[in-house]
Structure 1
Amino acid sequence: MKTVELPGSPSLPKVFARAVASSRGRDGKGGLPDLQVVRRGVPIDTGALADYDHVCGYALRDAVPATYLHNLVFPLQVTLFADKSYPYPLVGSVHLDNTLTQHRPVRIGEELDLATWATNARPHKRGVQVDVVSRAHVGDELVWEGLATYLYRGQRVDGSVSEQPAGADAVDGPGMVWRLPANLGRRFAAVSGDVNPIHLNSITAKAMGFPTTIVHGMWSQARMLAAIENRLPAAFVAMASFRRPVLIPGTVRFVARRQGSDWVLALRDNSKGTVLVRGEVSPIS
């Protein structure tokens, strides 16, 4: 596998601009590249972490939230998407699902070796879906893994669309009501580096087929986990399925229930009850 090693954190606005500018002409031909993007010796910036915790609702602790580690690998993902060998366009892509595996808590003061690559391009009824795998090591120890599934609308890949497994209904009932301000997308972009304009500007969001500005999926997963962080085990798998866009401004209802040793989570539109995000958390024994 070819490796691109980053000496530091890239300027995400510049990498985003390069990926967007090169979106035209990316037609999926040639398949996914045998390429990984890595960055070694990455420290935890305590100031940046505190800002992130504030936006997402986490308490300030010595342990780093699992979703913040996605923040650290996200520049590697965008670098991968911007590489000329990557066959799918960033413009119009949609984050469908996100699974985080925390093998143990990462502590402030530890340095991480990060890696990201893409695999498993397969048909979807609306295009092509691709899994982007990310891993974080402390020395030789694997401490965290991420699996982000992205949909590239209108693209094609050989194969037939597999029947989607019937998912369990999202949990419902009383929960916490959160009022999401219009500037939430800009606030999360400032702490995550994800400057995709569908989260920042309603005009651009409408041009991409959304009714208005939408919340980052990773904010939704982070906020849901933050709400139960004092009940999470030290090692767990957390899954989020982004069912519908979370529009801002708006009001949502967060529901969490225990099922044995697992948590089932849902983010719903508060007035309609529509499921926006479905989540699960399972301990690793």
Structure 2
Amino acid sequence: MTHNAKYHNRPPGLLAMYSKALLPKGKQKGGSTTLPDVSAQLIGVSTGGADLERYRKVCGFMRNRAVPATWPHVLAFPLHLKVLTDSRVPFPLLGLVHLRNRIVQHRPIGEGETLDLDVRLGEAKKTSKGVEFDLITEARSAGRLVWEESSTTLFRQPEASSGKTRKAPPELETFANTLDITVPESTGRKYAAASGDRNPIHLYPLTAKLFGFPRAIAHGMWSKARVLSLLEQQRDWKGGAFSIDCDFKKPLFLPGSALLNWQARTSGLDYQLLNGKGNAPHLSGRVEWLDQA
């Protein structure tokens, strides 16, 4: 049975869903990978507005006629919460770990363009660390798919035998191009104001400590957006239709510094966001051009 929530022009309110996120859920039985058919839709949402300007500013995007490729993720964020806080979804929202994110922009989306958004649960699989599952988002304009995203999230449920000796991480490859990035302490709060993502681990040292972090950490999707905003300003950037993949690695503590490290290829770009010393990655990924001959 499908459990679909549909909204017109305005998304569901975040406050009620954050309150719901604090309520306990039943235990996930035996690492089951069978997920309910839960989805949410937002019909007729505008891509413009004051939040877009705040988002551009905190992420460093230049002003132009198209919205950042990461912006539809923010527009769909209330739908993500709606799906994840549904009582039929067995995973608690707080404590989920964002592992990977893939965005495909089939064409640039104009500022003020009207989109229909659809969010649903994708596939799930059992791993040694727990259950990984996908959250799928699609954006359509006049009925045509223009943007899509797959976010892979981990519900921790480690196996009893998973405490064995960890493998050494692969040797870090570095690329020819590097930019220094300074990340102010207020970044998490400013991104939360623009995006609605008010997870307490991103806001203040005190709220982050409640969840085991010594300081607040940057949102993973802020880090990806900041990387994208800088790559767009490089001579190697082609834009148009492209995909951008990202694997989230180590947290970026606030305040902090980081290094954007990248290289150009014929079909796209390889990139990574390293710590200030350049010896460990916060995230890594690639951009692929989709409209090249």
User: What TM-score comes out, normalization by structure 2 length?
Assistant: 0.88
Alpha-carbon deviation of 1:274?
Answer: 0.9
Which of 58, 63, 75 is matched with 1:60 structurally?
Answer: 63
Which of 272, 284, 291 is matched with 1:278 structurally?
Answer: 284
User: Quick check: 1:27–1:155 contact (8 Å CA) kept in 2?
Assistant: no
Secondary structure in structure 2 of the residue aligned to 1:32: coil
Which amino acid is 1:148 matched to? Answer: S
Report the identity percentage.
Answer: 34
User: Quick check: 1:13–1:195 contact (8 Å CA) kept in 2?
Assistant: no
Matched, 1:18 2:20: yes
Alpha-carbon deviation of 1:233?
Answer: 2.2
User: Quick check: 2:132–2:152 contact (8 Å CA) kept in 1?
Assistant: yes
In 2, Cα distance between equivalents of 1:86 and 1:10? 18
In 1, Cα distance between equivalents of 2:118 and 2:174? 34
Question: How is 1:140-179 mapped onto 2 (pairs within 5 angstroms)?
Answer: 140-154=143-157, 170-173=173-176, 175-179=178-182
Unaligned stretches of 5+ residues in structure 2: 160-168
**CA displacement 1:5-61 (0-9 Å, x = unmatched):** 024222223312212x22x23322473111210010011233221111011000111
In 2, Cα distance between equivalents of 1:241 and 1:135? 20
**Divergent runs of 4+, >3 A:** 166-174
Residue in 1 aligned with 2:126? 123
Which of 263, 266, 275 is matched with 2:272 structurally?
Answer: 266
In 1, Cα distance between equivalents of 2:171 and 2:46? 39
**Cα pair distance change 1:111/1:174, threshold 3 Å:** closer
Residue in 2 aligned with 1:89? 92
Alpha-carbon deviation of 1:169?
Answer: 5.2
Question: How is 1:1-285 mapped onto 2 (pairs within 5 angstroms)?
Answer: 1-7=2-8, 8-19=10-21, 21-22=22-23, 24-29=24-29, 31-154=34-157, 170-173=173-176, 175-230=178-233, 231-271=237-277, 273-285=279-291
User: Quick check: 1:96–1:242 contact (8 Å CA) kept in 2?
Assistant: yes
**CA displacement 1:73-105 (0-9 Å, x = unmatched):** 111000111111111011111111100000001
Which amino acid is 2:40 matched to? Answer: V
Alpha-carbon deviation of 1:127?
Answer: 1.5
**Cα pair distance change 1:233/1:45, threshold 3 Å:** closer
**CA displacement 1:225-280 (0-9 Å, x = unmatched):** 11122523200010011111111111101112102221011101112521111020
Secondary structure in structure 1 of the residue aligned to 2:74: helix
Alpha-carbon deviation of 1:128?
Answer: 1.1
In 2, Cα distance between equivalents of 1:271 and 1:14? 41
**Cα pair distance change 1:90/1:170, threshold 3 Å:** farther
In 2, Cα distance between equivalents of 1:168 and 1:234? 33
Alpha-carbon deviation of 1:171?
Answer: 3.5
Secondary structure in structure 1 of the residue aligned to 2:153: strand
In 2, Cα distance between equivalents of 1:272 and 1:280? 18
Unaligned stretches of 5+ residues in structure 1: 157-165
In 2, Cα distance between equivalents of 1:147 and 1:171? 27
Count of residue pairs the alignment pairs up:
275
In 1, Cα distance between equivalents of 2:258 and 2:267? 26
In 1, Cα distance between equivalents of 2:289 and 2:109? 16
In 2, Cα distance between equivalents of 1:12 and 1:260? 42
